[in-house]
Amino acid sequence: MQLIDLSIEMSDNMPAHYLFPRPVILPHRKHEETVKTLTGGFSYATNFISMLDHCGTHVDAYFHVNPKGAAIEAMKLEEFYGPAVCWDLTHIPAKGLIDVKDLEQAQKKSGLPFKENDIVLFHTGHHNRTWPDKTAWENTYPGLTYNACKWLFDHKVKMHGVEGPSTDHPEDKSFPAHRACRDLGITHIECLANLEKVVNKRFTFIGFPIKLVGTSGAPLRAVALLD
């Protein structure tokens, strides 16, 4: 059994979606400060964290694009755990589009048959090409078309995940992939990493979000469990 971390590191002023502010992570109390106020040489450290609910590796709650959709705490844990596959889409160029034919070819190339309620992740190479260059990472990722998302839904994919900060093309302000998720009642994970380690493999995906109340998304620790 092998655990593979599919999450990006959270750090101060790290890259984020172009519509969102970057997170702020700063020291609150330092060991060299608190040791002066406590006895016996004891000390502690704490940090101040300020960020949106869509920073770092995260999942969109249904509420994100649907005012009547469930917020993150109301989503079932089963949605974030289960059998998964990762498809090779590294032929998609920077700022390219992933359409139905690309998914069909990637699925066939993987040699892995569909299973109902699979979680499907897309390895495009975007993270390795751009991280941690903020400009490149935030602005050059590929996007899914509306029809690609519907194709996944029609094949009973439970959830899908991408390496970029959005499933939508960075220059498409109509957000077709997010609209598809809204219309079909599905959702996705964004800002994944290390997918080259699981590409064309079947594994168990584990990625439970923080149980925030009323939020439109939440960070998660995405992990692949390989037998």
Domain region containing 163: 58-226
Give the global pTM.
0.95
pLDDT at residue number 114: 85
For range 20-46, the mean pLDDT: 97
Cα(61)–Cα(69) distance, rounded to whole angstroms? Answer: 8
Q: pLDDT tens digit string along 186-227?
A: 999 999 999 999 999 999 999 999 999 999 999 999 999 998
Residue 150, sorted as left (phi over 0), alpha (psi -120 to 50) or beta, turns out to be alpha
| pLDDT interval class at 34 (50, 70, 90) | very high
45 lies in a domain?
no
pLDDT above 90 (res 146): yes
Structurally, the chain folds into a number of domains equal to 1
28 lies in a domain?
no
- How close are the terminal C-alpha atoms of the chain, in Å? 4
Percentage of residues of the chain with pLDDT beyond 70: 100
165 lies in a domain?
yes
- On the question of a cis peptide bond just before residue 132, with omega within 30 degrees of 0, the verdict is yes
Q: pLDDT tens digit string along 87-144?
A: 999 999 999 999 999 999 999 999 998 899 999 999 999 999 999 999 999 999 999 9
67 lies in a domain?
yes
